[in-house]
Structure 1
Amino acid sequence: MILVTGATGTVGRPLVEALRASGAGVRAVTRDRAAAALPTGVEVVEGDPSVPGGIASALEGVTALFLHPRAVGDAAEELLALARERGVRRVVALSASNIDDDPAEQPSRLRGDRNREAEQAAVHSGLDWVSLRAGSFAANTLTAWGAQIRAGDVVRGPYADFAEPPLHERDLAEVAARALLTDQLVGRRLEPTGPESLTHAEQVAVIGRVLGRPLRYQEVPPEAATRGMVRAGLPEPFVTALMARYARGLGRPTPPTDDVAEVLGRPARRYAQWVADHAAAFRG
């Protein structure tokens, strides 16, 4: 039995699907059982992974656990101690490629991610462990630009030339499934990314080609972008940290890794494939 925290999120949902496709038993922890809508055959447990005592019984009979840093928050060490007591043998921790940066320079920390804590808890848990230091998710582009694309053909944003290799969440989920189900990756820190580094402007152009629309990226000053994102409801500290990340990376494209291809025996999915898989969301 595999226990998945963060089971209904961007990574957790395709991970549950990948595990079920492999024939594994899956126990999914969610804060809202009624809204989970997970595949048939998945055992759904309602609970809060950031309060480990409340889900201790869900660890019975579990052999491996997927540790989601936002779902467990500051409770990773406590949860893994409970897991070890109950006979869990392996933990696969979701982390991030910028884990070694100054915490103040990690925007996702301001959204609740505890990537460093999750990896450290896994490494020191006494369990077999794997850490997935994921690159930037392709899904972030839908969050950032989806509303503008549904409204028109111009995407306004900062730093048109900032470049990174967007990662398809299904590639990350399939790597995580391999780490949970086999001994192939035990004791490794992997850095899954997409297969190509693309600028913001290039990503918007890819979206346009897939949708058959003349989309273009119009760069705006960081200050104006910050004001717009804050007005849209994003916390100002998060936006400030994000802009600083873009500024630091300008002119230094993040190179892709081969980790997805190494683990899965095939190339990572290209960004155009991710857009095609989510075209309906861009169309609205």
Structure 2
Amino acid sequence: MGEFLVTGPAGDAVGDLAGRVGVRIVSRLAEAGLTVRALVSDPSRTRLPPHVETARGDLAAPETLEPALRGVETVFLIWPDRGAAAPTPAVEVIAKHARRIVHLSGGRGPHREIERAIRWTGVPCTFLRPTGYAADTLRWAHQVRRGVVRQPYGTAARSPVHERDVAAVAVHVLTSAGHGGATYTISGPETLTRAEQARIIGETVGHEVRWEEPPARTAREELLAAWGDPAAVDDALAEWASFAGAPERVTDTVQRLLGRRALTFRQWAGEHAADFR
């Protein structure tokens, strides 16, 4: 399949879930003996296997991408959710070198523009659209330790996906043929409300965790104080409101592509129990 370039793999920060998936993809490709290069803005801050080649570059500065793209056939594109420049210039540079682009997308917001830019190049492409990550609940860790998760929209029903499943599907797509033009929505195997997710985490760590719904007029202020990003807060509130009205769908993507059932939220919580204690 030639040489792979993965953009944006990062460390284990809670807010950088896509980057965490990127780390898993890089590691799995390298373990399989494939040649993989990681595009990072600061190699000293990135946790990657020591034998993985890194290239310094920034998607917001397309002129920095050329050295990283030399000899590359397939690009796995992780685009920063916020703070990056318009995608078209970087995508055009990538398309000059790559024979295939796989994008870890979201299907909404800025990802729509990225998908359009990729399609416009004419390079064979595949879009992976994870549902809500199970790891989003790591934001609740300090509240879980106190036994009460105070968040809005406890009835919002998600199909939380394990980041390992997202990485496994990505590696499958990267290393096998027949995915050109495909869009895969990757979900967990079940729909759970946010309040149910908190309860399952409590059962996993061994103490009751209650859900407490703040008054609507204070929910945004509390989230803004915790996150510090008004746009992210407003996007999250709108998304949770939509899933309170219509549950996030469950897909068969993991079963169909990997031949096994998707990992459950309870499995994810068991693997991350130490993060909540």
Instruction: Tell me what 1:176 maps to.
Output: 170
Structure 1 unaligned residues grouped into runs of 5+:
104-113
Distance 1:158 1:280 in 2: 25
**2:89 counterpart of 1:78:** yes
Specify which of 144, 154, 160 is matched with residue 149 of structure 1. Answer: 144
Q: Deviations over 1:60-84 (max 9, x none)?
A: 1111001112179345332332233
Instruction: Tell me what 2:13 maps to.
Output: none
Q: How does 1:181-260 map to 2 (within 5 A)?
A: 181-260=175-254
Aligned residues between the structures: 266
Question: Residue 211 of structure 2 aligns to a residue in which SS?
Answer: strand
Q: Output the amino acid matched with 1:78.
A: P
**2:253 counterpart of 1:280:** no
Cα deviation for residue 2 of structure 1 reads 0.6
Structure 2 unaligned residues grouped into runs of 5+:
11-18
Distance 1:177 1:73 in 2: 25
Specify which of 259, 265, 277 is matched with residue 259 of structure 2. Answer: 265
After TM superposition, the runs of 4+ consecutive aligned structure 1 residues lying more than 6 A away are none
Between the aligned residues of both structures, percent identity stands at 37
> Residue 73 and residue 120 in structure 1: after superposition, are their counterparts in 2 closer, same or farther (change >3 A)?
farther
**2:50 counterpart of 1:37:** no
Q: How does 1:24-103 map to 2 (within 5 A)?
A: 24-70=34-80, 73-86=84-97, 88-97=98-107, 99=108, 103=109
Distance 2:218 2:233 in 1: 11
Distance 1:241 1:124 in 2: 27
Question: Residue 190 of structure 1 aligns to a residue in which SS?
Answer: strand
Q: Output the amino acid matched with 1:40.
A: P
Query: Which TM-score applies when normalising by structure 1?
Result: 0.87
Instruction: Tell me what 1:13 maps to.
Output: 23
Instruction: Tell me what 1:126 maps to.
Output: 122
Query: Which TM-score applies when normalising by structure 2?
Result: 0.90
Question: Residue 20 of structure 2 aligns to a residue in which SS?
Answer: coil
